[in-house]
Chains A and B, each alone.
Chain A
Amino acid sequence: MTATVPRLTASFDDAPLTLVRRRWRPGLLLLLLVAFVGLPWLGNDYWLNAILIPFLVLSLAGLGLNLLTGYTGQTSVGAAGFMAVGAFATYGLLLRVPGLPLPLALLGGGVIAGVVGLLFGIPSSRIKGFYLMVTTLASQFFLEWVFAKFPWFYNYASSGTISAPRLELFGHNLATPVGRYLLTLSCVVLLTWVAANLVRSQVGRNWMAIRDMDTAAAVIGIAVERDKRMAFAVSSFYLGIAGALWAFAYLGTASAGSFDINRSFQILFIIIIGGMGSIVGSFIGAAFISLVPILLSHAGQWLFNGNVDAGQLQNLQKVLFGALIIGFLIKEPEGLARLLGDLRERIRVWPLRF
C-alpha cells in the first residue's frame, strides 16, 4: 500500500497573509503637502482660526478618546477633564519653569494628564461598563472643580481664566494664525502617526482583545488590568495635549468652564459619529461636529438673510444638524468612517454592484 502524502502547494510555504501591507500612499503625502504648505499659503485668518485649528484639535481629542473607548472598549465621559489637566499643566509649566521650550511644556502637560488618567483608570480593574462610565463622570466633575477651586492653578487671576503665554519656538513667534496652525498640525500629525503604529502593535492588539472580550483576553495571557490602565494613561496623554492646544493654539484662553461636561459629550459624539475604533473616524467625526454647524450657519445666512426671524433660523439649524446625525447613524451605525469606506469600495467597482 503506497500512500501518497498530500503536499501543500509551494505558495503556502510562505506566510498565508501579510500582516502589514506596505503601500506607497501618494494620497496621504499629497494631503500632508497641502496641509503643511498649501493651506497656510492659501488660507486666510477665518479659515485658519475658526475652521482648521478647532477641527484639528477636536480630531486629536477624538483620537485620544478613541484609543480608550474605540480600541479598548472603556467608555469614558470624562475626556474634557483630562483636556483641562493638560491645559492647566502646560500653563503651569510655562509659567513656573522659566526657559522651558514650548514642545517640552506641551509634552510635560501631556505626561501630567497621562498620570492623572492612570490614577482615574485604576477603578477600571474592578468595574466595567456603565459603572466605569460613572467613575469617569466623577473624574470630570472632580477635575473641573479642582481647576475652579484652587487659584494656584490659574495663577490667582481674578477671573479664574488662564491665557496663553508667549508661544515661541526657537525664537520664532508662533502667535500668528499660521504659526498656531502649524503648531497644531505638527502635533496632530506626529501623534496620529504614533497612534496608528500603536494600535497595530502588540499593545493595540491587546487593547482590541480586551475590548472584544476581556475574559478571553485574560485566558490567552494578556495582562488585562495593566493594559486597561495603560489605555487610560495613553488616552489622557493625547487628551491632555489636545486640551493644551485647545486653550493656547485655538482659544488663547481657558477656564475650568471651557472643559465642562458638554465638551466631553462633544468628543464622545465625535467618535460615535466618526467611527469607534477607527483613526480616520476621529477626523471625520471632528469634521462633522465642528464644520457642519458652520456650514449650516453660512447657508442659513445666505438663503434667508433678513427674511426669517433670526431666533427661528438658529433653532432651525439645530434641528437640521440633529436630523443629520440621526440620519447618518440610522444609515450606518458604525459611523461615517464605515460609510465612506463602503462608498470607496463601491466606487472601486463602479458601475457594477457588489
Chain B
Amino acid sequence: MHATFKRSLAAIGLALGAYATLVPAAQAANEQFFPLATYRVGAYASSGIPVWAGMIDYLRYINDVEGGINGVKLVWQECETEWTAEKGIECYERFKNGLNGAPVAIYAPNGAPAAYALADKAEADRIPLITLGYGRTEATDGRVFPYNFPAMLTFYSEASAFINYVAEREGGLDKLKGKKIATVYHDSAYGRETQGPLALLAQKYGFENIQIAVADPGNEQAGQWRQVRQLKPDWVFLRTWGVSTPVAIKTAARFGYPVERIVGDIWASSNEDVLPAGEAGKGYLALTPYPGGADFDIHQRIRQYILDTGKSDLKDPKSFGSVYYNSGLVNAAIAVEAIRTGQKKFGNRPLNGEEGRWGLEHLDLGDARLKEIGFLGLMQPLKLSCSDHEGGGAAKVQQWDGQQWKLITDWVQADRVTLRPLIDAKAAEYAKEKGVSARDCAAQ
C-alpha cells in the first residue's frame, strides 16, 4: 500500500512535470528565436555535430561580440531529428510558434526527408525554409515555392559547375566533345538528381554521359569500378555519401583509376569522407560551396572571441575549419544576414516568418558585405529574389593532400541559364499536380 501510494505520487509528479514543459511561460522580449533541428544521434551524427558547432559558435559570436542583430539578441534551442521526417515534423511543430515570445524568422530543416515533409506545412504557416546544398531543386522557382530556399547551390548547379570545371581543365567548353564523363552515384533520390542536368549538358556539349549506380550503402563497389576501368572515362563525378565515399576512393585505387580524375560532390567533400581512404585519397578532388580551412577572416574572429574563451560548442578542436563546421557558419550567416536585410524594412526588432522571407528574397551579399562579415572567400556572392531562390550557383574545387584540403580554383560558376528551363518545367509540373498557381513576381 505504502509503496503504491508513493509510486502514485511519483507518477503525478512526473505528469505535472511533463505538463509544465509543454506549456512554456510567456514573456515578451526583444529576442529572435533560432530553432536548431539537429541530429546528434543516429547514422549521420558524425557529420552533424560539427555543423551545429559552426552554427552555435556563429550565433554566440553575433550575440556576445556584436550585441545581437542591431540589438536584437538571438536565442536558440535544439531538437533532435535523427535525420528523419517524423522527428523533423515534431521539432518543427514544437518550434514554429517561437520560444517564450521570441518569433521564428527562418527555419532550417537540416535533412532532406524533413525538408520535403515540411515544404507544404511551412508554406501554410508562412515560415521560410532554407536548405543549403540539398532539398528540392525545383524550389529555385520562387514563384511556385514562395517559402522554400535551396540557397547557394542546388544539385543541378552542382552538376553544371562540375562540367564547367572539367571544361576549364580540358581547355574550354568546345574541348568537351567526345570526352567520356562518368557519374558514379548513390542509387537514391539524391544520387539520381543530377541525371537530368547531365543529360542536357551532354547533349549541348557532345560529351559521353555514363551513369553508374552504387546501391545503398555501397560498401562493396568492385563491380562499378571494374566497369569504370573498362570504359576508361576521362573524368569521374563521384556522387556518393556516407560510407560509400571512402570505399569508392579505395576501390578506384585498387582498379588503377587515377584519383586526381575523381571529383566528389558536396556530400563527398569533407575530411570525414577522405580520412578513412588513407593514402588512396591523396589527390582526390571535391566540389564545395563552403571550402574547408580555418584561415578565413571569420575564423580569426571566432577563434579570438569564442574558441579561446572556451565558449565554443566544438568538442574536438581539430574540427575547427572543417568543411562541415564551415557549412554551419555559412548557414547561420545567411540566416543572420537575411534578418538584417528584413530589419531594414521592418525596423530593428525580431521578425516573424513572413518578414524573414522578405529578408531572404531581398538578400544581396556582395563581396564588400562578405568582407565586412568576414566571409569573403568562404562564401560566394549571393543574391536572392522572388523568382530566384538559389542565388549563387558556384562552387570551389578543393584537393586533398593527405592532411588537409587545398583550394585549387576560385568560384566555378554553374551555367544556370541553360538549366533554368529544366527547373521551370519541373516547377510547373509540381504546380499542376498540386493545383497551385505561380506568384507574379513583378507584383512583389
- The residues of A with any CB-CB pair to B shorter than 8 Å are 45-46, 49-51, 54, 95, 148, 155, 157-161, 163-166, 175-176, 250-253, 255, 257-258, 294-295, 297-299, 301-303, 305, 309-311, 314-315, 317-318, 351
Contact = CB atoms under 8 A, between A and B. Distances in A.
A311 B40 contact: yes
Contacts of B193: 158-159
A188 to B, nearest CB: 18
Given A163-B119, A299-B18, A302-B20, A158 B426 contact: yes
Interface in B59-113: 77-80, 85-86, 89-90, 93-94, 96-97, 113
Nearest to B87: A293
A176 to B, nearest CB: 8
B121 A49 contact: yes
B433 A297 contact: no
A313 to B, nearest CB: 8
Contact of B86 (A54, A176, A303, A314): A54
B22 A298 contact: yes
A157 B315 CA distance: 40
Nearest to A91: B433
Interface string B236-252: 00000000000000000
The 3 closest A-B pairs by CB, nearest first: A160-B189, A302-B21, A50-B93
Contacts of A298: 18, 21-22
Contact of A253 (B78, B94, B119): B119
A253 B89 contact: no
Given A148-B189, A163-B120, 5 more contacts: A46-B97, A161-B189, A250-B89, A252-B117, A311-B41
Contact of A166 (B18, B96, B97, B434): B434
Greatest chain A CB density within 10 A among B17, B86, B89, B97 is at B86
A160 B90 contact: no
Contacts of A95: 433
Given A164-B120, A165-B433, A310-B38, A302 B17 contact: yes
Given A160-B192, A310-B78, A311-B40, A50 B90 contact: yes
Given A45-B93, A160-B192, A310-B78, A301 B21 contact: yes
Contact of A314 (B41, B94, B433): B41
A156 to B, nearest CB: 8
Contacts of B97: 46
B3 interface: no
B434 A163 contact: yes
A253 B93 contact: no
B49 interface: yes
B18 A163 contact: no
Contact of A255 (B22, B45, B120, B189): B189
What is the interface of chain A mostly: helix, strand, loop, or mixed?
A: helix
Contacts of A317: 80
6 contacts: A45-B93, A148-B189, A165-B434, A166-B435, A252-B119, A255-B189
Nearest to B79: A297
Interface string B134-145: 001110000000
B187 interface: yes
B255 interface: no
B306 to A, nearest CB: 16
Nearest to B38: A310
Contacts of B408: none
Interface in B114-129: 116-117, 119-121, 124-125
A51 B96 CA distance: 15
A158 B137 contact: yes
A61 to B, nearest CB: 13
Nearest to B112: A159
A252 B52 CA distance: 27
Contact of B17 (A251, A297, A299): A299
Contact of A45 (B17, B96, B426): B96
A251 B85 contact: yes
Contacts of A164: 120
A317 B79 CA distance: 12
Contacts of B113: 255, 257-258
Contacts of A46: 93-94, 97
Interface string B31-70: 0000000101100010001001000000000000000000
B417 interface: no
A198 to B, nearest CB: 29
A299 B40 contact: no
Contacts of B315: 309, 311
Nearest to A48: B93
A49 B93 contact: yes
B442 interface: no
A175 B418 CA distance: 36
Nearest to B116: A253
A257 B188 contact: yes
B196 interface: yes
A165 B93 CA distance: 21
Contacts of B443: none
B1 interface: yes
Interface string B363-392: 000000000000000000000000000000
Given A158-B193, A302-B17, A318 B90 contact: no
B77 A301 contact: yes
Contacts of B93: 45-46, 49-50
Nearest to A255: B189
Contact of B89 (A251, A318, A351): A251
A95 to B, nearest CB: 7
B324 to A, nearest CB: 15
A253 B49 CA distance: 27
Contacts of B435: 166
B317 to A, nearest CB: 16
Nearest to A158: B193
A294 B85 CA distance: 14
A302 B196 CA distance: 47
Interface in B121-172: 121, 124-125, 136-138
Contacts of A305: 77
